[in-house]
Amino acid sequence: MVLMGKILSPSVQTSISGQLELPMLKEVSYIKQMELPREQVYSKRSILDLLRGLPVRQLANTTCYNASDGGASASTTGGTLNYTYQWSNASTSNQIANVPSGTYSVTVTDGNGCTDSSSVFVDVFDNIYPVAIVQNITVFLNQSGFTSIDVLDIDNGSYDNCGIDTMYINLDSFKCSDVGENLVSFTVVDSNSNSVTTSAFVNVLDTTLPLIDNCPSEIFDEASSNCGFTLPDYTLLVNISDSCGIQSIVQSPTTGTVVDTGATAVVIVATDVNGNMDSCNFMLYVHDTELPVISCRSDTTICTSNFTFLTPTATDNCIELSVEQIAGLPSGSSFPVGTTTNTFTATDSAGNQSTCSFTVTRDDSPLQANAGLDTALCELSTTDLNAEEPTIGAGTWSSLGSATIANQNQYNSMVNNLILGLNEFVWTVANGVCPTS
């Protein structure tokens, strides 16, 4: 039998959970020879009724964009049994399962070779929030008073079922004013834009020491007139800096302290606003360069051999002082005839020296003076005096009358203006401070 007319082609419905696409039924014409049992003749109406009422199965969307746990099913009505299916992923059943998200098409062919096609989009449905796990951290400012962090410093193993797309923090750089605990916001966003925010503490520490430049290794200076030295403000010699600021600068011994000669350790301590300290240490050497003042007695002439004198006095800006005789004879010695020079040195504790000297001149006692023999003259007004020439000292003639002596210092001198009668002359021998003869 040949059946001619119109029949409805199979209508395919594809569905997933939460989304369903229903294509329109399409009316197609066909001429197909059908061999039916003689005793059975079906009307158009009865065929349509027979091909309707197949159940519609729904499967699920994927849980993640990279998951393969989605599915879809095709529900076919109309046409002629039996149906065959051809999916775009090569599946041949009325449903597909364990597929990733995407668009899938299916073509259904009925028992008469009629076909219909439909497609479905398997979407992603992720409603699970990421898990944000953070850790509190401690960071340190650098020499410039700055430090920075990134999100991985805060993250402590955050995760998400579909994977993390991005993580970020609201604060990633810190300066001196941030020293202490800082609350930092931490956000995790998964691949499906689900996000969660938590926070962690970033403890910012400043452990950088102050910077001290131009610290001297040693300083030399001179003592004052009181043998001491008054310390100036040595902090003016050094350059002290700190990125976060200097709290205090202390010198020890303090400015104005009087120190003795010799070596003194000086320390300058700089402390910044966060309690970090550094120091400058050097030695101060105070030298006494002032010479002692020593005063000797005046030069002395003696006649006796023994002579006693006081040790010269000396003064100095420093207390420790010694006086030593370096030349001549000690006090109380028997000095020889002639001149002896006594020299003394005053030495202070710094080794500065001054000297002074005086002479002791000893004169020898003269021999007994001998004026010569008395002389008698006859009516002469002039004559010669003939004394013994002294070997020690010097002689001097003197007249006890009106007669004049031509050369008083000459032992054999002429005299004039003698008078009748007695003319007396005296010959005196003297030697320095010694008694005359």
Q: Compute how many other C-beta atoms are within 10 angstroms of the C-beta atom of residue 262.
A: 14
**CATH number assigned to the domain covering 293-362:** 2.60.40.10
What string of pLDDT tens digits covers the 437 residues of the chain?
222 333 344 555 554 433 333 333 333 333 333 333 433 333 333 333 333 333 333 466 767 777 888 888 888 888 888 899 999 899 888 888 888 888 888 889 988 888 888 888 887 788 899 999 999 999 999 999 999 999 999 999 999 988 999 999 999 999 999 999 999 999 999 988 999 999 999 999 999 999 999 999 999 999 888 888 999 999 999 999 999 999 999 999 999 999 988 999 999 999 999 999 999 999 999 998 889 999 999 999 988 889 999 999 999 888 788 999 999 999 999 999 999 999 999 998 888 999 999 999 998 888 788 888 888 888 778 888 888 888 888 889 888 888 888 898 888 988 998 888 889 989 888 887 777 76
As given in the structure block, the two tokens for residue 319 are: 């207390």
Q: Are 118 and 106 in contact (CB under 8 A)?
A: yes
CATH architecture type of domain 213-286 = Sandwich (2.60)
Instruction: Please indicate whether the domains covering 137-205 and 213-286 agree at the CATH topology level.
Output: yes
Q: Dihedral sign for Cα 161, 163, 165, 169, please.
A: positive
**CATH number assigned to the domain covering 366-437:** 2.60.40
CATH architecture type of domain 137-205 = Sandwich (2.60)
CA distance to 171, 176, 206, 331, per residue, from 138 (Å) = 14, 14, 11, 85
Q: What are the sequence ranges of the domains in the chain? A: 2-122, 137-205, 213-286, 293-362, 366-437
**What element of type H or E holds 56?**
none
Strands (E), 218-337: 218-222, 228-230, 239-241, 246-252, 258-260, 262-272, 277-287, 293-295, 300-302, 306-307, 313-315, 321-327, 333-334
